[in-house]
Amino acid sequence: MKKQIDINCDLGESFGVYRYGADQQVMPLISSANVACGFHAGDPHVIRETIELAAAHNVLIGAHIGFPDKLGFGRREINAAPQEVYDYIIYQLGALDGFMKIAGLTMSHIKLHGALYMMACEKQEISKAAVKAVCDYNPDLEIYTLPNSEMSKNAAASGLRVVHEFFADRPYDHHGVRMFNWSLKEIGCPKEAAKRVLTALEQSVYSEYSTNEHIHSICVHSDTPGAPEIIREVREALIAAGWAIGNSQQVNV
Amino acid sequence: MKKQIDINCDLGESFGVYRYGADQQVMPLISSANVACGFHAGDPHVIRETIELAAAHNVLIGAHIGFPDKLGFGRREINAAPQEVYDYIIYQLGALDGFMKIAGLTMSHIKLHGALYMMACEKQEISKAAVKAVCDYNPDLEIYTLPNSEMSKNAAASGLRVVHEFFADRPYDHHGVRMFNWSLKEIGCPKEAAKRVLTALEQSVYSEYSTNEHIHSICVHSDTPGAPEIIREVREALIAAGWAIGNSQQVNV
Amino acid sequence: MKKQIDINCDLGESFGVYRYGADQQVMPLISSANVACGFHAGDPHVIRETIELAAAHNVLIGAHIGFPDKLGFGRREINAAPQEVYDYIIYQLGALDGFMKIAGLTMSHIKLHGALYMMACEKQEISKAAVKAVCDYNPDLEIYTLPNSEMSKNAAASGLRVVHEFFADRPYDHHGVRMFNWSLKEIGCPKEAAKRVLTALEQSVYSEYSTNEHIHSICVHSDTPGAPEIIREVREALIAAGWAIGNSQQVNV
Amino acid sequence: MKKQIDINCDLGESFGVYRYGADQQVMPLISSANVACGFHAGDPHVIRETIELAAAHNVLIGAHIGFPDKLGFGRREINAAPQEVYDYIIYQLGALDGFMKIAGLTMSHIKLHGALYMMACEKQEISKAAVKAVCDYNPDLEIYTLPNSEMSKNAAASGLRVVHEFFADRPYDHHGVRMFNWSLKEIGCPKEAAKRVLTALEQSVYSEYSTNEHIHSICVHSDTPGAPEIIREVREALIAAGWAIGNSQQVNV
């Protein structure tokens, strides 16, 4: 039986007339799509079309949930109360599920976005609010997060399935992944990104935030310059190394 | 067996620090609550609390769906495309259902708000987009609308259950109900409102938009000055006249 | 003395992470920039940078003022009251002038955007609200609009300077310019666009909305596919035909 | 010559249909109004009417500038970059000045709101961005802030006039004023609030954030329960103690 690895990507981040991300090129290459729910990015029209695109490519669909801050693209910390975070998550899960319902599809996972993602990794009360929201709403949802994070620990403690991800397009150091203030030079060419992914999967410890035993999914952001090329290279390198692309719920290679 | 009549009210219209409507006083007096979904009014926190309040009073809960225009409170026509209207409805239905889900409740109905309500009554393509959204999302939802409206006709033609409503707190003339530009003097005191309601229910034809054979629900807006008093008077007059308060799904008297 | 013609373009329409329009390529080719003020497009950061870019190219700067509807990019009619339109215009004029002030520059003109532009051309009460706003705020501002429109008539009657524009990238017929639902095929290649511009300037009557005696400016939208090429071609054709590029306040050729 | 003290209040915080604060009752009692500029509260219509109300009562008008977060009323920290803060301030100063211009009035001061106010008091880079915005926009504007704050120091160092304020309706302890998580019990009745104000003005040191030599203005929030009564009591107590109500630019008693 083949080893399996998921490739996930943040998609559906366009808004109104504004196009963002290489959704059309990326969708055929991934196994899980994190769809923006209209708070940090996305809108009702974009959500519907992104779900249709994912479905056409047999890609699993999750909710990509951020702060209500389109001006900042959800990348700025807002010191919202845990109850506010809880309510934002329920609202966005429901909104996305509205479009899943008319498409006859089932949501597979949830991934927090940007500043909310990092806050849930680092702050216990935020991660607990997020975990409670998922438990209350649908405990079958997988939670995508960093290994060894507060979010990972709290989700696992609540019996949720956790998907640990490695970022192919972000630099790692001994502090873990650096989500902000990275340079394209640090990421390197697609081949270098693919090599980092294989190394992370093979090494016993890549960094405190990324232990190989925990990596279930490789993330590439659709707005990283050259994202489709990076994903293609990562995908091909993974397949060449004997991995099947897919997640626990679905293998599409 | 008693005759039955529903009393519905638009609630959950507060936003952030802003309070709006007499939700606490009104909820014990009605049988159906139309809960704002965050576009024209409401926010995730308000939605959750409004659902909790409605549930505590055994009031049926529906989605009150408006244009994305908080600045105008959804009262201004926006010439959105039918597909946009469809997408707005699915998004808001889903968002509200997120909170219904965590409360273990089932949404009973949908009512469009403000300008969208009137556009769906008057414009075939808008009513069709709204009806399609309900059919696709959940054909068990009742649609609240004006009798003899495009919305009523299209919903009935699609096999949806239609709830025709009479507005106790808006003036009627031979053109039907006047939703905008009315004066408190035209509405009169609570006793006058209650008398209009009974007359509408008894007369064979009240206006082209309100035929007695069609009236299933009495609406009072929670932001009409004196709304709780109007509802109390209407409710008591109805009960005195032999009506049970409730809708087809529930009788709470 | 050379004949003079202005070339204007809508710019500064990016928002947050979202890029929109070919501002960098277009700015060197035009004489007047209409800068979005944050309601239908643009944000404080984008406004500041767009003003800096325009100043670097010695381009006159005006306020491009739309409805508060980023989701619809200001292209949808909102039946706002004239007083609301007035207030929206004052707010946006002021906001843009804040950035003009720190740059040490003077705003030259105002142009309404999208649905608001067309409503002011067609509806007297909207055009009057807009004209009153300009008169109250700064009667030195030129108003860009369609010839023979309500806006043109009311602005002129109030003593404001009116700049009539011809759209190089929109089809014209006997009803005038068609701002929506046009196809790229109708616009044709840059050479065809340039030819239409010269024809419009030479013919005595192009359409009821475009009389050659009235044309003071040529507009190309920065988001029309191939906008920089169209503007370059139009500009070169105009210069070849003996026109100087600039407006009444400035000639930059 | 009488001692002089300013009374300032945050006003114009209504939004659309939502009313907020006791503007009508408060305006006759104060000497300086801080008017919300549409980001954390307020809208173009509200701004215009608030300015008209202030002008009718001969009250000086300043810009009350917050984060773009109506849902959180600007009370939540957003880790915006200093440049973003700078741009938000310029935008809002300009927008308010648009309405000042049509009213023929001159803006007297600026006061940051909520989380932005506190961040500027505590974080050097935020206070520097705010001070730079004021210097660039209009160095004649007074800056309202806490004594001994980063904002106060940086504003003074840049040659701006600083107005130190004491909050009559917030508790003080040895850490200074507590802006959040206070109880009505801690504030006490209007007489107690007035007594605290007089004590603060008389004592040499009230707390590290409030030294009597620095207090130029007394602030009461218009949304504090009983605000008009508190302001009236404070005002009468001040007058009884020999103070004239007004600021350096204007005495209105």
Please name which of A219, A216, A220, A218 lies closest in space to residue A248, comparing C-alpha atoms. Answer: A216
- Which pLDDT value is given to residue C163? 95
Tens of pLDDT along chain B (253 residues)?
568 999 999 999 999 999 999 999 999 999 999 999 999 999 999 999 999 999 999 999 999 999 999 999 999 999 999 999 999 999 999 999 999 999 999 999 999 999 999 999 999 999 999 999 999 999 999 999 999 899 999 999 999 999 999 999 999 887 788 888 899 999 999 999 999 999 888 874 455 444 545 789 999 998 899 999 999 999 999 999 999 999 766 544 3
B79 touches chain C (CB under 8 A): yes
Interface contact flag, A69 D77, Cβ < 8 Å: no
Question: What's the pLDDT tens digit per position in A211-244?
Answer: 545 789 999 998 899 999 999 999 999 999 999 9
- Which chains does C contact via 3+ CB–CB distances below 8 A? A, B, D
Question: What's the pLDDT tens digit per position in C90-100?
Answer: 999 999 999 99
Residue D95 in tokens:
């927008």
Residue in D69, D72, D79 closest to A77 by CB? D79
B38 touches chain A (CB under 8 A): yes
Residues of A in contact with D79 (CB under 8 A): 76-77, 115
Residue of B nearest to A88 (CA): B44
Phi, psi torsion values for D75, nearest 5 degrees: -95, 0
Interface of B with A in 100-119 (CB under 8 A): 101-102
A78 touches chain D (CB under 8 A): yes
Phi, psi torsion values for D207, nearest 5 degrees: -165, 175
Amino acid type, B215: I
Interface contact flag, C80 B76, Cβ < 8 Å: yes
- Which pLDDT value is given to residue A1? 54
Please name which of C75, C217, C199, C213 lies closest in space to residue C144, comparing C-alpha atoms. Answer: C217
D82 touches chain A (CB under 8 A): no
Q: Indicate if the pLDDT at residue D195 is higher than 70.
A: yes
Residue in D71, D77, D80 closest to A79 by CB? D77
Give residue A174's region: left, alpha or beta (phi > 0; psi -120 to 50): alpha
Residue in D88, D91, D98 closest to C137 by CB? D98
What is the predicted ipTM? 0.95
Q: DSSP code of D154? A: H
Confidence of residue C175 (pLDDT cuts 50, 70, 90): confident
pTM passes above 0.90: yes
Q: Indicate if the pLDDT at residue D143 is higher than 80.
A: yes
Chain A with chain D: Cβ pairs closer than 8 A = 25
Residues of C in contact with D91 (CB under 8 A): 38, 44, 47, 95, 98-99
Alpha carbon of B182: minimum distance to chain D alpha carbons (Å) = 16
Residue of B nearest to C88 (CA): B71
Sheet strands (E) in A96-160: 109-112, 142-145
Interface contact flag, D115 A77, Cβ < 8 Å: no
Give residue B246's region: left, alpha or beta (phi > 0; psi -120 to 50): left
Residue in A96, A102, A136 closest to B136 by CB? A102
Residues D196, B44: Cα–Cα separation, whole Å: 39
Q: Indicate if the pLDDT at residue C208 is higher than 90.
A: no
Confidence of residue C3 (pLDDT cuts 50, 70, 90): confident
Residues of B in contact with A101 (CB under 8 A): 94, 137-138
In contact, D245 and D217? CB cutoff 8 Å: no
- Which pLDDT value is given to residue C70? 98
- Which pLDDT value is given to residue B1? 53
Question: What's the pLDDT tens digit per position in B73-123?
Answer: 999 999 999 999 999 999 999 999 999 999 999 999 999 999 999 999 999
In contact, B230 and B240? CB cutoff 8 Å: no
Residue D162 in tokens:
């600083």
Residue of D nearest to C98 (CA): D94
Question: What's the pLDDT tens digit per position in D147-182?
Answer: 989 999 999 999 999 999 999 999 988 778 888 889
- Which pLDDT value is given to residue C169? 94
Interface contact flag, B91 A101, Cβ < 8 Å: no
Please name which of A64, A66, A68, A155 lies closest in space to residue A115, comparing C-alpha atoms. Answer: A66
- Which pLDDT value is given to residue B205? 47
Amino acid type, D91: Y
- Which pLDDT value is given to residue B252? 42
Alpha carbon of A226: minimum distance to chain B alpha carbons (Å) = 31
Residue of C nearest to B39 (CA): C71
- Which pLDDT value is given to residue D173? 82
Tell me how far CA of residue D216 lies from CA of C220, D8, D59, D109, in angstroms: 54, 10, 16, 13
Question: What's the pLDDT tens digit per position in A47-56?
Answer: 999 999 999 9
- Which pLDDT value is given to residue D253? 38
Interface contact flag, A94 B90, Cβ < 8 Å: no
Mean local confidence (pLDDT), A20-40: 97
Confidence of residue C253 (pLDDT cuts 50, 70, 90): very low
Interface contact flag, C77 B72, Cβ < 8 Å: no
Question: What's the pLDDT tens digit per position in C19-59?
Answer: 999 999 999 999 999 999 999 999 999 999 999 999 999 99
- Which pLDDT value is given to residue D247? 78
B223 touches chain D (CB under 8 A): yes
Strands C210-211 and B243-247, bridge-based pairing: unpaired
Q: Indicate if the pLDDT at residue D251 is higher than 50.
A: no
Interface contact flag, D102 C45, Cβ < 8 Å: no
Q: What is the mean pLDDT of chain C?
A: 92
- Which pLDDT value is given to residue D222? 87
Please name which of D88, D102, D81 lies closest in space to residue D40, comparing C-alpha atoms. Answer: D88
- Which pLDDT value is given to residue B149? 94
Confidence of residue A177 (pLDDT cuts 50, 70, 90): confident
Tell me how far CA of residue B133 lies from CA of A54, A70, A100, in angstroms: 21, 26, 13
Please name which of D147, D168, D165, D163 lies closest in space to residue D236, comparing C-alpha atoms. Answer: D168
Least confident segment among A186-190, A200-204, C205-209, D179-183? C205-209
Phi, psi torsion values for D248, nearest 5 degrees: -60, -25
Residue found by looking up tokens 């909104």 in the block:
A95
Please name which of A238, A215, A109 lies closest in space to residue A164, comparing C-alpha atoms. Answer: A215
Residue in D44, D88, D96 closest to C44 by CB? D88
**Residue A45: partners with Cβ closer than 8 Å, 6 or more residues away:** B83, B84, B87
Interface contact flag, D78 A76, Cβ < 8 Å: yes
C67 touches chain A (CB under 8 A): no
Confidence of residue D70 (pLDDT cuts 50, 70, 90): very high
